[in-house]
Structure 1
Amino acid sequence: MTETLVVGGALCRDGRLLAARRSAPPELAGRWELPGGKREPGETPEQALVRELREELGVEVEPLERIPGQWPLKPGYVFQVWTARLLSGEPRPLEDHDELRWLGPDESDTVDWLDQDRPAVAEAVRRLRAEGFGGEG
């Protein structure tokens, strides 16, 4: 069975990580995630991330590098995360989310992350502290 890849973006700006609160489906609503979505046939993971963040947040991003590891979602789905830089636009919760928040490294544990996002969030925060990736928005 082929696994469906779900990509997430650790989108950073000014030393902060973007968190998105789910509005749907009901079992995930109110919890926080790294925005993203399913890869479509023929897309690279990076292309999927660019498209998903355009659809979900109305922004253009540049994928930087993949955070090591992948995490199982529901059966048949696996989650991978890339760090990404905001190129243009101001993120807005267009679909699947009802709130966005920019979190500094010391604020990353102030929201209730989805379980599968936690390892990637921890690594993104570690990189923010070490490198300050994401640059100026």
Structure 2
Amino acid sequence: MENRIVVGGALIHRGRVLAARRSAPPEVAGRWEFPGGKAEPGETPAQALERELLEELGVRAHALEELPGRWIVRAGLELRFWAAELLSGDPRPLQDHSELRWLGPEELADVDWLDHDRDVLPAIARLLATA
């Protein structure tokens, strides 16, 4: 059986990236991540990211490129990260998040990232340096 894709989005706007603090489930509450979620059957990872950012944050975004690395987060679930640009809307923590922060390249270490999200920070720092 093929793994189901979970996509995390590095939402970039004006040289900063959006970080979201988890409010659920309890084992990750209070830690920070790049928002996203599971791809539905028939969706590409890019389509899933754009849908998830609309559902979770109330924003329209455009998926730009897949970032390096893939992680098995549990049996049957493979996490991939994508860079995305904000097209419209003001992000709000609508689902599973208690707080949002825009972070510049020098602020990426200021929050307690989930482990897999921390792994992709070097690629995000490179993106922000060219944004």
TM-score under structure 2 length normalisation: 0.97
- Structure 1 distance, partners of 2:43, 2:4, is 12
Deviation of 1:122 (Å): 2.2
For residues 22-75 of structure 1, the C-alpha deviation after alignment (integer angstroms, 9 at most, x for no partner) is: 000000100000000000001111110010000000000000011022112122
- 1:48 is matched with 48
- Structure 1 distance, partners of 2:114, 2:68, is 18
- Structure 2 distance, partners of 1:92, 1:40, is 23
Aligned residue identity for 2:99: E
- 1:4 is matched with 4
**Which runs of no fewer than 5 residues in structure 2 stay unpaired?**
none
Aligned-residue RMSD, C-alpha: 0.8
**Which runs of no fewer than 5 residues in structure 1 stay unpaired?**
133-137
Deviation of 1:2 (Å): 1.9
- Structure 2 distance, partners of 1:52, 1:124, is 19
TM-score under structure 1 length normalisation: 0.93
Deviation of 1:121 (Å): 2.3
- 2:73 is matched with 73
Secondary structure of the residue aligned to 2:48 is helix
- Structure 1 distance, partners of 2:29, 2:127, is 28
Aligned residue identity for 2:3: E
- 2:21 is matched with 21
Deviation of 1:119 (Å): 1.9
List structure 1 segments (4+ residues) > 3 angstroms apart after TM superposition.
Answer: none
Contact 1:12 1:84 in 2 (8 A): yes
- Structure 2 distance, partners of 1:125, 1:14, is 14
- 1:114 is matched with 114
Secondary structure of the residue aligned to 2:75 is coil
- 2:103 is matched with 103
- 1:36 is matched with 36
